[in-house]
Chain A
Amino acid sequence: KQEVTQIPAALSVPEGENLVLNCSFTDSAIYNLQWFRQDPGKGLTSLLLIQSSQREQTSGRLNASLDKSSGRSTLYIAASQPGDSATYLCAVYAGNQFYFGTGTSLTVIP
């Protein structure tokens, strides 16, 4: 069964720093991987979706990479801002459902 792990569980950085969030999954037979953002008490907002045939996707200050063979993905956030503070979740689509990681709680200190 697919298991998704995210490291670190929590991260605190000063404003302006570049940072990397990590996601690993146990079964490389995935169709795609999606990164989400969740603000406290809110729903999930999709950030980036990478198909299994792709290596990376970019949106503004965000860049997500995928190495399917090694079961890893990273989310790179450039020039972090206090508004980036949230929980970031990665999910892999395998079989007929998404499997979620436990998230990384990010705090960007002004």
Chain B
Amino acid sequence: DTAVSQTPKYLVTQMGNDKSIKCEQNLGHDTMYWYKQDSKKFLKIMFSYNNKELIINETVPNRFSPKSPDKAHLNLHINSLELGDSAVYFCASSQATAAVYGYTFGSGTRLTVV
């Protein structure tokens, strides 16, 4: 199936831990994104990569570090997790000209920090 795949789907961890979320797309897209959806369902962009290069880096704590080993993968590493990091994190991809074709989203990773 052609899709944007995220792992894990659920992640429960203690404060202070370091965790990673992985994202892969097999759509042939060259741009990938991380979005955070808060408890009020509001989606806000965190990072965007085009062909492994960072193009959007919104105001996010530097505990969050994206890594793109190739244009089909964009991982998110989070250091020293805090309670406020609990949210659903969505990966998405598009052609660089997202203006034409829009976004395709993964199914999300629900992160709970306890």
Contact = CB atoms under 8 A, between A and B. Distances in A.
Interface stretch (A60-68, A69-77, A96-104): A96-104
A85 interface: no
Interface residues on A, range: 20 to 34
Interface residues of B, number: 23
Contact of B103 (A46, A51, A87, A103): A46
Contact of A43 (B33, B56, B98, B106): B106
B90 A44 contact: yes
Given A32-B100, A43-B105, A96 B43 contact: no
Main secondary structure of the interface of A (DSSP, over half): strand
A93 B102 contact: yes
Contact of A103 (B41, B90, B108, B110): B41
Interface string A46-90: 100101000000000000000000000000000000000001010
Given A43-B105, A44-B105, A46-B104, A32 B42 contact: no
Contacts of A41: 110
Given A32-B99, A42-B108, 14 more contacts: A32-B102, A41-B110, A42-B107, A44-B90, A49-B101, A51-B99, A93-B102, A96-B56, A97-B33, A97-B45, A97-B48, A98-B103, A100-B42, A103-B41
Interface of A: 31-32, 34, 36, 38, 41-46, 49, 51, 87, 89, 91, 93, 96-98, 100, 102-103
